[in-house]
Amino acid sequence: IDPFMSGKTTTSCKNKTDLHEYCGSIHGNNTQSCHMGFYVCLDDFPFQQTDNNKDSSNKDCVVYDFGIREQPDFGVVMSRPPFNCRVLAFDPSPVTKKWYASNTTLARMVKTSSNYELKPYGGGYADETLHLNQYDWDQVSIVRFPFRVLNPNTCTQGKCKYFFHNQQQFRLPVRSVPSIMAEHDHKHLTILKLDVEGSEYRMIESIIDSGACKQIDQLLLEWHHYDIDARYGEGSIPIHNVIHSMLKEKCGLEQFWIHDATGWPSNEKMYFDMHMTMRYNLASFKRVAPAPSLFNGQVSQKIKS
């Protein structure tokens, strides 16, 4: 495998967008208030000709939006003209629950939309209840911080004291993409968006193992908590290289956009103090060719099981 594979695009998109040009309408035509960042490819997008002032449903477009915090902009835009997609959003975070119960413009908008539905659970490999942990931006994450950490500012006579990090835990429900698809009788997804604070690895494992990835047209995600390969240096990310290879070979999905080849490290002092390297990146994949056995019945059976 090319050690720098994950930093390269292997297919192109003539009409890609981060949806900012569509987002202003949900913020009083103020695009500065938009919280976007993920690129979508519109080359073969299933648009539906409708009255732009009418909230109608495009049955050919289904979007799953995992991880919205109190910023549901992506899913809200996809649920409205000119897309009119059926959007299911997922987030069990306390901050999301508080936002949804509020009277903000976006909260009112999603609660009255016939195309948008918020589910109070997160994403995972399987349907289960997990201990998720306190994380940045009032979110929850699968990642666990070290409890006992050496404090270099307290070293005397060759020994250092510890400081202890208490990370609040939440027992919250998660579900797998194949299970959700089966429940809603969704034969394919137009877009699967994952911004799940480290759970993307287990979720991608699930859609590959089950075959559900073969029924997804675009995969948009934020990578979390990875490090570079010391053998090759910056831009070489072994776990991402393996996933890229599997998405291409098993799912027919290839990367058409990436924020940058290496991503960026967190600048939060708390991670420096805990001796943790936390890196992030954004990437988008699209279907390039039918995956092996794309619609052979075997995959559909896996989805329904």
Calculate mean pLDDT across residues 238-244. Answer: 96
Query: What's residue 304's pLDDT?
Result: 42
CA-CA distance, 7 to 122, in Å (whole number)?
A: 28
Residue-wise pLDDT for 78-128, tens only, equals: 999 999 999 999 999 999 999 999 999 999 999 999 999 999 999 999 999
Question: pLDDT tens digit string along 6-18?
Answer: 999 999 999 999 9
DSSP summary character for residue 290: P
- Residue 180: both structure tokens together: 């959700």
HSE value, Cβ hemisphere, 13 Å, CA-based, for 169:
11
Q: What is the pTM of this model?
A: 0.91
What pLDDT is stored for residue 294 in this prediction?
A: 44
Q: Does residue 299 surpass a pLDDT of 50?
A: no
Q: What is the mean pLDDT of residues 189-204?
A: 97
Contact 108, 100 (CB under 8 A): no
Question: Which residues have a Cβ under 8 Å from the Cβ of 294 and sit 6 or more positions away?
Answer: 214, 215, 252
* Cα gap 258→192, rounded to integer Å: 16
Confidence at 41, pLDDT banded by 50, 70, 90: very high
Q: Which residues pair with 171 in a beta bridge?
A: 131
Which residue type is seen at 45?
A: F
Which residues in the chain belong to E strands, given as ranges? 16-17, 40-41, 58-66, 85-90, 116-119, 122-123, 128-134, 140-141, 148-156, 159-164, 169-175, 189-194, 216-226, 253-258, 264-265, 279-287
